[in-house]
Amino acid sequence: MLGFFLNIVKLFRAIGYVFKQDEEFRILLFLLLTFLCSGTYFYWHVEGWSIIDALYFSVMTMSTIGYGDLVPTTTLSKSFTIIFALLSIGVFVAPMSKIVGIVIHLKKIRKAK
């Protein structure tokens, strides 16, 4: 359990480091949050899900996990989900790959010392 929390601390340090250093990352993070908020609002409003369910479904769709416990029921929601998935998956992956790259880079720097 301690290892989990140490990795979370490392993750937030890496995010802070990248956020300060990389303008592209800030733009990607803004896009990620915009997609997340718009997807959450859409599912909350159209499907009538709770905000936490709508947020959960948006994250599961963006991250391509898709457990299938929540499913869009209307044609409008299904159409939105197709477009949302196609656009948001790339927006989700891009900042995550930058974070992983920075974590690896910081680890190499620490080993070199």
Per-residue tens of pLDDT for the chain, all 113 residues: 888 999 888 888 888 888 888 898 899 999 999 999 999 999 999 999 999 999 999 999 999 998 989 999 999 999 999 999 999 999 999 988 988 888 888 888 888 87
Q: Given this model, what pLDDT does residue 104 score?
A: 87
> pTM (2 decimals)?
0.82
Asked if 77 and 43 count as a contact pair (C-beta separation under 8 A), the reply is: yes
Q: Given this model, what pLDDT does residue 12 score?
A: 87
Which tokens is 71 given?
Answer: 């499913």
Q: Given this model, what pLDDT does residue 74 score?
A: 95
DSSP code per residue over 8-40 = HHHHHHHHHHHHHH-HHHHHHHHHHHHHHHHHH
